[in-house]
């Protein structure tokens, strides 16, 4: 007998509910997530509008979603670390810092994509 339960509609529904609970928890407890969500709400439609072709649209609209995903993982790491102990611990601090660094790197990816893809257009508009 397999220990892996098959994925049917009921399990998929439960996973959706748990995901929505996670999004709600991030909204209620994480100011960074709220800020990044507001930013994504602007950048996602703007990226779909400004992108020239499917790849550009994906890069411009999709990278803010990567930031949100990393923020959720970072917040999860922070919650687990804080649950274990609120006292300073070098490894706990390192875990939190690395999670924060992941979010930062993805923010740099957003800037890089937007700059490389839209920068030349903006430059051309300014110099015409």
71 is catalytic: yes
> Nearest CA to 36 among 119, 115, 122, 102?
102
> Nearest CA to 57 among 68, 72, 43?
43
Residue 45 and residue 32: Cα distance in Å, rounded? 20
Tokens 């602007």 belong to residue: 42
Extended beta strands in 46-93, E state:
none
Under 8 Å between Cβ of 81 and 98: no
User: Catalytic residue positions?
Assistant: 71
């Amino acid at each position: 007998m397999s220990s892996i339960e098959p994925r049917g509609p009921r399990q998929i529904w439960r996973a959706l509910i748990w995901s929505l609970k996670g999004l709600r928890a991030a909204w209620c407890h994480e100011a960074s997530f709220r800020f990044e969500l507001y930013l994504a709400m602007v950048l996602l439609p703007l990226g779909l509008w400004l992108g020239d072709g499917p790849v550009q649209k994906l890069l411009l609209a999709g990278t803010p979603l990567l930031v949100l995903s990393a923020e959720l993982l970072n917040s999860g790491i922070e919650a687990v670390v804080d649950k274990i102990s609120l006292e300073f611990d070098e490894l706990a601090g390192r875990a939190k810092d690395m999670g924060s660094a992941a979010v930062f790197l993805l923010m740099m990816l957003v800037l890089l994509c937007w700059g490389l893809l839209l920068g030349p257009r903006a430059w051309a508009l300014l110099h015409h």
